[in-house]
A and B are shown apart, each in its own frame.
Chain A
Amino acid sequence: MIRGGKSFVSSPPAFSNDAKKLLVCTGNTVSIFSTSTGLQITELGGHTALVTSVIVVPASTPASKILCYCWTASLDGTIRYWDFSVPELMKTINIRFPIHSMVIPELSGQQPESNDKPPHLFAYLSAVDVKEQEHRPNASSGQIRKCNLTESRLAGGVILAETWKPEIITSSPSGKYFGIRDKRKLRIWEVPTKDSARAVYKKITLHHTKSFTTFAFHPTHRILAAGDVTGRILIWRSFGRRTFSDCDPIINGGPSTNDDERPGGRRDDDADSCSTWHWHSAEVKVLFFSSDGAYLYSGGKEGVLVVWQLDTGKKRFLPRIGSPLLYYLNSPDPSLSSISCADNQIHFLKMPSMEILKSISGIKLPGSVPEVCKGLYSGFVFDYTGGQVAVCAENYCIQLYSLLDDCEVSEVQVCERNLQLGDEVTVMVNLVALSLDGSTMSTIETRLPEDGIGGLVSLKFWTCGSQTKEFSLSTVIYEPHRDAGVSGIGFHPTRHMAVSSSYGGDFKIWVRSHEVLQKDQMLPMTGWTCHAVGSYKKKPMTAATFSADGSVLAVAAETVITLWDPQRNVLVAVIGESIEPIVTLSFVGKSDYLVSASQGSNSQVSVWSMSKLCASWSYKLHTEAVASTVDDSCFAVLALLPKSSKSMESNENTIQGTDGVILLFNVGDPVPASTWFVRKAKGGGLAFIKISPRSPEDITDGKPGQTLLAYINDDHEYVLFSPYGEQVHDYVTHPRSHFGIDETEQFGYATIYGELPEFNLKRNQTTEVSFVPSERPWETIFSGSSHNLPPLTKLCSMFLESLLEKRTAIVE
């Protein structure tokens, strides 16, 4: 079982103390990446649900910088304590409430401990009271609770606040304050200096007329910045002067003024002044103060990182990051920081210059699709032999993602257009298909019309270079089916032939044509041209596929299946009459059966016998995807569970959250061979993937290639498993395990001149033994008459050279 495709941006990441590692919450695990290589080092696995927070225990002294401890909190209701260098689980605290956010203010503001007994460590959690929710579903469910980490229990009965839904807690870098945003309010608490389970909390509330989206505390001063949904950034200075007055007056930001002169601030808010900055056009997602407090970083949907000089309000920009920003993080190393983007990428920035050093790219997350073309959209396709999945990304790219290595392989820019974040999606890549051997890709991109004018559908064929493995554009076809949308593309299994079916009522067969090799041209010109056009009673064509040997083309004409001879473009037979339009067609391997799936209120999965041209058996199932093996006679169906059965099962409380089921059928047998329950099946996909042995030992062992079933869910998380219950062989050599932490830091001489080469004395000795002076030039160079001799300068060097023992060069 291979899992992957996790989101890297579900929760903010955390840097280790030496800024060489980045801890990223990836689903149920925390993955640790090297900041210098951008590759995964190791993984902390143990949580059983989504990890929501990771907090690295900061180093109080320079010596403890190498300490690698962290706290993690998860939706499974546990807080865990890890040594992530090993990696090893050290402690688990179970509080039985799903934790959505956790802060430990004391950690960041920890003083060096002098007494033997350290004070108790408290964490503040944003949790959901599950029981409460069940009794009163309308009540506010989020709670801010306190947890004693030293004693591993919740501080009894302390509920600081209740919110409508669980909120993200933000704590100040100094560890003095923490707070939450609650719609149009900010609630700020001061952490008591002597914290205990029964400490009294002072709190203030700041108000605004718009909903807040994020906020941040200044590292040293009492300044707070908050962003709202309209893109404004509000900055409160000296907040809580009245309430938190027992603080050190020196760090009270700015000179204290009269209560009457508080520009911008609301009368009842406890802050000296409030100023507003407005640059962002959409909501502010990221706010972060630089570690010295001089700059404020902000970002949002536009994908532009804005650096504000705090005193003057001057701006600098890092534009065209290419995706909405989600989190920004400073590292302990002042020259390094990271930004997390909504397209599942984390970029490391070199700080003052804001250059992107490295990127960690995860699988692209599904983009938003406009309602108009919901039906046309299929976001991904599997490569049968290559073990890859091609995902349509929002920035008009196709990302090729290796399922086995769980990393990005390449990205193909399909549509050359500048991405405008924040605008409505009007241009998108909505269909992608790969040929069976993975050498050819075809994509459909759609430009939506504005008020009925200017819409365009274009079909593109891409070929894969034999050496580079990069796809390059081969042919562009504008409006392949006039202005009608394309419902599906299928490739011929053996030949260079493809079929595209359209809602406009026709299908076209495309063939690759080689043009003659010109004398001065290096490569033969290849292009895809239309070979044949077919239609059946002007009905919309909804799906098309070739049979395993390529001799039959099946095209679904709404509710019936038409069978064609692709070479001669002749209608061979028409079968079936389903109730709803067929959306998927698939020939089952080498057997003479065809599976069709229709969607609608009476959705159906049917198996048709090609030899008898009639239905073999059918089920009433709401299918999301159908996958059939290439050389076997079974197929798998991803079906959505009906609402009634789901509620029944959730009562049983055994399989929570599952909404889909994968059924594996043998063609001849209507009873499923195996069944798996899955989550987030809506919009998911299914495919059989052939895994060939990678390493040479495996090939010599004679292990055959294995066929695995790949399931990808709506969030583009995937799992590979053997459908026959076999153990998945270790074909997958986890390359990430080989990436150790980067080499030890060089110092002194080595930093300037590099490392001295190591002399292998042993080898030198062995070669010296074998050294025999083979020629003796001194015997010959002086022979002959004196006027024939070469000049003395030449002779002398030759002579001396011959006397010296030459060390033969060692070939390293």
Chain B
Amino acid sequence: MAENKTAIAKTFPVKPKLKPASNKSTPTPESKYWKSFKQPKETPTQTLISSITSLSFSPTQPHDFAATHSATVTIFSAQTLEPKSTIAAFSDTATSAIFRSDGRLLAAGDLSGSVRIFDVKSRVPLRHLRGHSRPVRVVRYPKADKLHLFSGGDDAIVKYWDVTTETQIFDLIGHKDYVRCGDVCPVNDDMFVSGSYDHKIKLWDIRVSSSGSVMEINHGKPVEDVIYLPSGGLIATAGGNSVKIWDVIGGGRLLHSMESHNKTVTSICVGKIGKESGEEAQQYRVLSVSLDGYMKVFDYAKFKITHSMRFPNPLLSIGFSPDCSTRVIGTSNGTLYVGKRKVKENIEGELGEFSGFGAVEEAPKRALRPSYFRYFHRGQNEKPVEGDYLIMRPKKVKVAEHDKLLKKFRHKEALVSALNGKNPENIVAVMEELVARKKLLKCVSNLDTEEIGLLLRFLQRYSTTPRYAGLLMGLAKKVVEMRAEDVRGSEELRGHIRNLKRTVEEEIRLQQSLQEIQGIISPLLRIAARR
């Protein structure tokens, strides 16, 4: 009892009312991981000319990425996240840019119906594949094969090309509507899928190309995107506002349908949790973006949404770099949301060092002498060892300026200091304290014109906020009553009063419309309660 001075009353700073704690639970390690993709501060958000229809990453280091928008393909550097080069040799809007497996060539279609192949470094057009009569919507290179690619377009035909000779090998016919998407099998270069607006996903095998598609899956909605999952046994399809997972080895069985988007899912891709440790390390996820502005992360092993993120625009395309460092999302108005994750790079470096040298003898520690500079700093940066008993410094009570002024009973100065602080919670807390001291109205009557302006500006902004309305609406009324003379005298204050009036009128309108809604709902509720 001696050490804590029980008798001396503690000082309490003026505290705002508690806010209800948000229901959001603490972020899981996984959502922390997905949140760690952040726009680097030094690079501004890229805004391209028009909507970004496709995004694809180079499979080789350093994983540059290409975005198609308008009649150009822009290649971005993976390091700086800034445009590196632009390919504008298209006659119409470019679609579906894709890198070859070695990352040296880039193929893209356009709405005129041709597929063009470029050298990534020199941007020289190498090949021009003509054959589609309608816009080409999907171009894909196989995972290892460097000589072939397939394309699909609005003429409902999937074509398989030999790139070197610019000839088409097969016409794969079977779709009845626009072919909008497709993907190659990650384990087998001969197989690929295509999705079409006829709700169907067709699985093709060039080895048995004559008999049409190997398998057909009905998604139930026009298919916007289809991807193979890394194992090669599952595919994910997006169409309407659902993403479905299918087992292709098991005969095209539907495993799960994820329907948490509110609008059409436009693009999906495979993401990987590139962490070294943790429960979820090195697991794959399906990332989906939709026109409702949400990016969702779907764990297809547990059939669970693990993370969800909102963007202000309708989203059209998504890409995720193979080294798990970059996540790119393209929107309909050309804004490109690039997220880059900081990776600790020293791990590999350290490993190299240790493997290089063997057991290095540590240099014997030199005893500190008073002639050394460090002698006088010894022990100051000592860290507590586990098991040490820490004596914590007592927590210092944070005292703001208005608290000090309140302690000296300088009420008006405290109010003005809080008003200058611009934090509405603190201002209201100081006002509540002044009410408890019965000094608020006296303070209001003592404010000079400038300070009244400050108060009126605050009242105009916050008096209709539900949290503060109880106190502030009454106060606003009193202020107007008490300081009518001063308001008449000053042009500036009249302006504030006009603003306040406008805010109040707006609030009244809002309340009226809410009452209308209440009037509609309450009979319904009463009827429902009677049953």
Contact = CB atoms under 8 A, between A and B. Distances in A.
B18 A359 contact: no
Contact of A476 (B18, B25, B28, B439): B18
Nearest to A456: B432
A454 B437 contact: no
B478 A451 contact: yes
Interface stretch (B2-10, B59-67, B182-190, B215-223): B2-10
Interface in A479-503: 479, 483
Interface stretch (A75-83, A329-337, A416-424): A416-424
B436 interface: yes
B436 A419 contact: no
A542 interface: no
B1 A322 contact: no
Interface in A373-398: 395
Contact of B441 (A417, A451, A456): A451
Contact of A418 (B9, B28, B432): B9
A417 B12 CA distance: 6
Contacts of A519: 28
B6 A359 contact: yes
Nearest to B475: A453
Interface string B441-485: 100000000000000000000000000001100110010000000
A626 interface: no
Given A356-B8, A359-B6, A417 B474 contact: no
Interface string A600-617: 000000000000000000
A453 B478 contact: yes
B431 interface: yes
Contact of B17 (A420, A427, A478, A483): A478
B526 interface: no
Interface string B20-41: 0000011010000000000000
Nearest to A359: B7
A358 interface: yes
Interface string B188-223: 000000000000000000000000000000000000
Contact of A426 (B15, B407, B431, B438): B438
Interface residues of B, number: 34
A385 B12 CA distance: 34
Contacts of A455: 435
Interface in B118-157: none
Contacts of B406: 418
B26 A424 contact: no
A641 B6 CA distance: 41
Contacts of B470: 456, 479, 483
Which of B15, B435, B438, B475 is packed against the most chain A CB atoms within 10 Å? B435
A357 B1 CA distance: 8
B1 A38 contact: yes
B474 A395 contact: no
Given A345-B7, A453-B435, A454-B435, A357 B2 contact: yes
Nearest to A451: B441
Contact of A320 (B8, B15, B18): B8
A454 B474 contact: yes
Contacts of B26: 518, 520-521
Contacts of B474: 452-454
B2 A358 contact: yes
Given A420-B437, A478-B17, A520-B26, A322 B8 contact: yes
B433 interface: yes
Contacts of B437: 420, 423, 426
Interface of chain B: mostly helix, strand, loop or mixed: loop
Contacts of B94: none
Contacts of A347: 7
B11 interface: yes
Contacts, number: 85
A235 B2 CA distance: 36
A264 interface: no
A321 B12 contact: no
A271 B168 CA distance: 126
B1 A447 contact: no
Contact of B11 (A418, A447, A448): A418
Interface string B423-435: 0000000011111
B12 A518 contact: no
A38 B9 CA distance: 19
A450 interface: yes
Interface in B384-407: 406-407
B276 to A, nearest CB: 20
Contacts of B12: 416-418
A642 interface: no
Contacts of A448: 436
Nearest to B409: A420
A450 B470 CA distance: 13
A2 B439 CA distance: 46
A130 to B, nearest CB: 40
Interface string A519-537: 1110000000000000000
A518 B21 CA distance: 15
B500 interface: no
Contacts of B433: 417
A345 B5 CA distance: 13
A518 B23 CA distance: 12
Nearest to A318: B8
Contacts of B15: 416
A269 to B, nearest CB: 36
Contact of B9 (A320, A427, A454): A320
Contact of B438 (A345, A358, A424): A424
A426 B437 CA distance: 7
A483 B473 CA distance: 15
Contacts of A483: 470
Nearest to B472: A453
A321 B441 CA distance: 29
A359 B2 CA distance: 9
A450 B7 contact: no
A455 B6 CA distance: 30
B440 interface: yes
A682 to B, nearest CB: 29
Listed residue (B5, B7, B437) with the most chain A CB atoms within 10 angstroms of its CB: B7
Contacts of B431: 454
A668 interface: no
Contacts of A395: 9
Contacts of A313: none
A429 B408 CA distance: 25
A521 B21 CA distance: 15
A449 interface: yes
B396 to A, nearest CB: 16
A635 to B, nearest CB: 38
B409 to A, nearest CB: 9
A427 B436 contact: yes
A417 B475 contact: no
B34 to A, nearest CB: 17
Contacts of A358: 1-2
Nearest to A322: B9
A788 B11 CA distance: 74
Contacts of A520: 26
A419 B12 CA distance: 9
Nearest to B406: A418
A356 B9 contact: no
B479 to A, nearest CB: 10
17 contacts: A322-B8, A347-B7, A359-B1, A359-B7, A416-B15, A420-B437, A427-B436, A448-B436, A450-B434, A450-B435, A450-B438, A451-B441, A453-B435, A453-B478, A454-B435, A455-B435, A518-B26
Interface of B: 1-2, 5-12, 15, 17-18, 25-26, 28, 406-407, 431-441, 470-471, 474-475, 478
3 interchain residue pairs of minimum CB distance? A454-B435, A453-B474, A322-B9
Given A418-B9, A453-B471, 13 more contacts: A38-B1, A320-B8, A320-B9, A356-B6, A359-B6, A359-B7, A418-B11, A418-B406, A423-B437, A448-B436, A454-B435, A454-B474, A483-B470
